[in-house]
Structure 1
Amino acid sequence: MRLLLTSAGVKNPSIQNALVELLGKPIADSNALCIPTAGYGHPQGSPAGAWRFISGQSSTPMCELGWKSLGVLELTALPSIGEERWIPWVRETDVLLVNGGDALYLCHWMRQSGLADLLPSLRETVWVGLSAGSMVMTPRIGDDFVGWKPPTGSDSTLGIVDFSIFPHLDHELLPENTMADAERWAAGIENPAYAIDDETAIRVTDGTVDVVSEGHWRLFSS
């Protein structure tokens, strides 16, 4: 699987160019499924927020980029319909667009639905994460980002990549997201960690990691 891990979606031309490179074809020729699930687990999540994400009315560009086709994959529904129905939907899509919200809630439903088990076989699929949709691919999110409490009581996530992510660095509406806050957070994470602002994304292709940015970011080594 190819990953584009963003803080706030496809916010600038550099991130969009990286997405097109990962797809290997224009966005207009690519089929997408969006996953709104994480939003329902966040204290500030709402049905209206899910609608804004799906309809492209949010401030985090994902669904409104001009896809050839766009569908909704709600993870909480998958266990009740059977893998024989939904797995072909996922295998036939070019890109999964994964909304922000609560990373641990998203992780729980990725495991419960079976999507987490399917990921290793999706070698040509592009995963575009937005905030929690990016953090879920890391080993841990850190105590600062624990909201919804999983049955395990842990802050661990899928561990598809070997680094953690502190999103929305220096966001004007998040005074607790300064670089000093990120540095303190990173000190409690045993693995490497990136702090990224909303103009930054982390691209992962065949295990190779690079940062695409028109903003600012920092790597904290373990």
Structure 2
Amino acid sequence: MRLLLTSAGIKNPSIHHALVDLLGKPIADCNALCIPTALYGHPMGTPAGTWRFITGQSSTPMCELGWKSLGVLELTALPSIGEERWVPWVQEADVLLVNGGDALYLSHWMRESGLADLLPSLREKVWVGLSGGSMVMTPRIGDYFVGWKPPTGNDSALGVVDFSIFPHLDHPDLPNNTMADAERWAADLRNPAYAIDDDTAFKVTDGTVEVVSEGHWKLFSS
């Protein structure tokens, strides 16, 4: 897959340009599916927050960008309906818009639903992650971000990319997301790790990683 891993959605023109470049055509010509699942596993998640994400009324632009069509793919429902129904929905979409929340809860349901196994075949699709929806693609999220406890008992995510992400760096509403906090988080990891603010994202194409930023970020080497 082509990946756009963001901290807070399509927050500025540089990230918007990266999205259009990954899509290869205008947003208005693209069919999108949004995945709200991660928010249900997060202690701050609410039904109202899910509604705001889907309807484009949150502070993290994703669903309101003017897609040709927009549908909702709830991963917790997929095991009960069978792959013959939902796999074509994913295959027919141009882009998956993945909400933030608890990355380990999202990782668990990606595996349980079968979506994780499907990812390698979706070479032309674009995955747009928001916070936890980006962190799920990393090898580890770090103990700092562990909330929901997965059956594995560890902090491992999907490992599609080889680096970890500390999102929302220096966010005014998150006093524990300082650079000093990020440095302590990174010290416990055995892989490269980035701290990024809400104006920063990663564009990943064929394994090549590009930092797209109008804000600030830092790479912590393993």
Q: Which runs of 5+ in 2 are unaligned?
A: none
Looking at structure 2, the residues matched to 180 and 210 of structure 1 have their Cα atoms a distance apart, in angstroms, of 24
Q: Secondary structure at the match of 2:110?
A: helix
TM-score, normalised on structure 1? Answer: 1.00
Looking at structure 1, the residues matched to 185 and 148 of structure 2 have their Cα atoms a distance apart, in angstroms, of 18
What do you get for the CA RMSD once the two structures are aligned? 0.4
Tell me the CA shift for residue 27 of structure 1.
0.3
- One-letter code aligned to 2:104: L
Q: Which residue of 2 aligns with 1:108?
A: 108
Looking at structure 2, the residues matched to 194 and 128 of structure 1 have their Cα atoms a distance apart, in angstroms, of 18
Looking at structure 1, the residues matched to 203 and 217 of structure 2 have their Cα atoms a distance apart, in angstroms, of 14
Looking at structure 2, the residues matched to 179 and 63 of structure 1 have their Cα atoms a distance apart, in angstroms, of 30
- One-letter code aligned to 2:196: I
Q: Which residue of 1 aligns with 2:149?
A: 149
Q: Secondary structure at the match of 2:33?
A: strand
Q: Which residue of 2 aligns with 1:7?
A: 7
Aligned pairs (5 A) from 1:164-175: 164-175=164-175
Matched, 1:67 2:82: no
TM-score, normalised on structure 2? Answer: 1.00
- One-letter code aligned to 1:130: L
Tell me the CA shift for residue 38 of structure 1.
0.2
The C-alpha deviation readout for 1:112-144, integer Å capped at 9, x for no partner, is 000000000000000000000000000000000
Looking at structure 1, the residues matched to 46 and 180 of structure 2 have their Cα atoms a distance apart, in angstroms, of 30
Q: How many residues align?
A: 222
Looking at structure 2, the residues matched to 77 and 91 of structure 1 have their Cα atoms a distance apart, in angstroms, of 18
Looking at structure 2, the residues matched to 109 and 158 of structure 1 have their Cα atoms a distance apart, in angstroms, of 11
Looking at structure 2, the residues matched to 30 and 219 of structure 1 have their Cα atoms a distance apart, in angstroms, of 33
Q: Which residue of 1 aligns with 2:217?
A: 217
Matched, 1:46 2:46: yes
Tell me the CA shift for residue 192 of structure 1.
0.1
Looking at structure 1, the residues matched to 47 and 5 of structure 2 have their Cα atoms a distance apart, in angstroms, of 24
Looking at structure 2, the residues matched to 187 and 62 of structure 1 have their Cα atoms a distance apart, in angstroms, of 32
Aligned pairs (5 A) from 1:14-29: 14-29=14-29
The C-alpha deviation readout for 1:65-93, integer Å capped at 9, x for no partner, is 00000000000000000000000000010
Looking at structure 1, the residues matched to 189 and 30 of structure 2 have their Cα atoms a distance apart, in angstroms, of 36
Looking at structure 2, the residues matched to 101 and 163 of structure 1 have their Cα atoms a distance apart, in angstroms, of 19
Q: Which runs of 5+ in 1 are unaligned?
A: none
Runs of 4+, deviation exceeding 4 Å:
none
Looking at structure 2, the residues matched to 117 and 163 of structure 1 have their Cα atoms a distance apart, in angstroms, of 20
Q: Which residue of 2 aligns with 1:194?
A: 194
Tell me the CA shift for residue 110 of structure 1.
0.2
